[in-house]
Amino acid sequence: DAGVIQSPRHEVTEMGQEVTLRCKPISGHNSLFWYRQTMMRGLELLIYFNNNVPIDDSGMPEDRFSAKMPNASFSTLKIQPSEPRDSAVYFCASSFRSGDTEAFFGQGTRLTVV
Amino acid sequence: QQPVQSPQAVILREGEDAVINCSSSKALYSVHWYRQKHGEAPVFLMILLKGGEQKGHEKISASFNEKKQQSSLYLTASQLSYSGTYFCGTELNAGNMLTFGGGTRLMVKP
């Protein structure tokens, strides 16, 4: 398996624009996580899906952020409208939730909002 | 729910030992340890389940004190390749979401 695949790797956008980040989890994994990483706040959990269903989105900072998982092999994180403070590295991770399994991280998307 | 890590940063010479701690105010089901190198994604090191077990990975091992809800990561005879930021992640229940601590930056110098 190629691992967790995220796209794009880098995104530079202007304030106010819509941004969509994409993630393809490892085949067979039934849990998916979106994280945001910044120097100030570290690695923050934004949302957690299990079997394509959002289980906990309490980490989503505000209504400008939304995430979907239409099927087991694809998820998106959308920011609309984007703001400079959204600049961060966004990671997607997936795992097979049998109770004691590791999470595999994608390479991340570095988002810069100018 | 975010676990607390200490120290925030450690500087070592090659061959020295280090301990990184992770604590939670809530009862934990599991503790995960990851290492992240600059510009890369976090990489899994090990998982500890409640029960106080200790695990090892080369010269890196960890323990989990269920009563105290604390886990410690032990790095012995450190190597240059150990440099990076170490994160602990915690789950409150099996299949629950994985929440990470603030990280401990480790630098190993020759």
Give the side-chain half-sphere CA count within 13 A for A58: 7
Cis peptide before A70 (omega within 30 of 0): no
pLDDT at B24: 94
d(CA A43, CA A91): 9
Provide mean pLDDT across the span B58-69: 88
Judging by DSSP bridges, how do beta strands B84-91 and B104-109 pair with one another? antiparallel
Average pLDDT, chain A: 93
Interface residues of A toward B, Cβ cutoff 8 Å, are: 31, 33, 35, 42-45, 48, 50, 55-56, 91, 93, 95, 97, 99-108
Confidence of residue A100 (pLDDT cuts 50, 70, 90): low
Encode pLDDT of B75-106 as tens digits.
999 999 999 999 999 988 876 788 899 999 99
Interface test with A, best of B99, B104, B105 (most A CBs within 10 A): B99
pLDDT at B54: 66
DSSP at B81: G
Per-residue b or e along A2-22, where b marks 16 or more CB atoms closer than 10 Å to that residue's CB: eebebeeeebebeeeeebebb
**Radius of gyration over alpha carbons of chain B, in Å?**
13
Question: How close, in Å, is residue A99 to chain B by CA atoms?
Answer: 5
**Radius of gyration over alpha carbons of chain A, in Å?**
13
pLDDT at A99: 53
In this complex, do A97 and B99 lie within 8 Å of one another by their Cβ atoms? no
Question: How close, in Å, is residue A108 to chain B by CA atoms?
Answer: 7
The pair of structure tokens assigned to B87 is 């994160």
Residue A94 backbone phi and psi in degrees, to 5: -135, 155
Residue B31 backbone phi and psi in degrees, to 5: -125, 130
Q: What's the Cα-to-Cα distance from A8 to each of A41, A75, A114, rounded to whole Å? A: 23, 13, 17
Residue B5 C-alpha from the chain's centroid = 8
pLDDT at B92: 86
Contact (Cβ atoms closer than 8 angstroms) between residue B94 and residue B29? yes
DSSP at A102: P
Residue B80 backbone phi and psi in degrees, to 5: -55, -35
Confidence of residue A29 (pLDDT cuts 50, 70, 90): very high
In this complex, do B100 and A43 lie within 8 Å of one another by their Cβ atoms? yes
Average pLDDT, chain B: 90
